[in-house]
Amino acid sequence: MDNYKSTPLEHWSYENIVEHYHKEKQHELSKSKTYSSLESQNNDRTKNKVCETSTFPSVDEIENIITSKDLIDRLRQTNLGLTKDDLEVLVNHGITGKTFLRLTEEKLEHHGVKLGPAMNIAHSINRIKKQQSDVYERKVNYYDKSEELSDTSPQAIKKFTKTKLDPEKFREKVRDEIRSEIRDEIRSEIRAVVKNFKDDFRDLLTDTYQLWISPL
């Protein structure tokens, strides 16, 4: 907008303003399309991650297992790395789905489980819970980004580019923007002048006072 400041408002060319407006909007449109493309690719990757079926059972699935046998069978199907000794611990202590998720390394050791199996079982539980948290976070991010992307979607961009330009409204908008910039500059200059005046006046008072109190 700086190139318009030196030209009186009444001498502005409507054609030049419109040309400048279209150039600016084409630049913004190009950036929006690039942003839209990148966000679409990112959302596709995020959606794929959300939809991936993990070999880990979910927290809800584990909680619904009501017998030790069913729990062992399900854990054998996973890649959690639980050994035969680890699974025998669960059987020997009558662990079901809900109690399994509440186990900790300290609780297992307190009930006589060796360090190795106790650590393996506790680590597996943490991995299941972390997976649940990660999946939820990816879902939230996916839907948040989907809503954000909708504002710069190709349909929204297409609708924007078809919008008719109202010459009078646009001209008035440009004038308002320039007036606002000029007002800000004038205010800044006035503040600087007032500050300088205050400084000079304070110095003058100081000098006058020094002369008044100094002996003749």
Task: Give the model's pLDDT for residue 52.
Answer: 44
For the segment 27-45, the average pLDDT, to the nearest whole number, is: 59
Query: Which range among 141-145, 158-162, 212-216 has the greatest average pLDDT?
Result: 212-216
Residues 6+ apart with CB under 8 A from 91: 68, 69, 72
Given a cut of 60, whether residue 49 has pLDDT beyond it is no
Contact 101, 125 (CB under 8 A): yes
Which residue would you say has higher pLDDT here, 206 or 44? 206
Give the count of beta carbons closer than 10 Å to the beta carbon of residue 108. Answer: 22
For the segment 123-143, the average pLDDT, to the nearest whole number, is: 72
Task: Give the model's pLDDT for residue 132.
Answer: 74
Which of 161, 126, 150, 138 lies closest to 45 in space, CA to CA? Answer: 138
Q: Mean pLDDT for the chain?
A: 73
Per-domain boundaries in the chain: 29-163, 165-216
Q: What is the CATH number of domain 29-163?
A: 1.10.150.50
User: What's the pLDDT band for 113 if we cut at 50, 70, 90?
Assistant: very high
Which residue would you say has higher pLDDT here, 158 or 181? 181
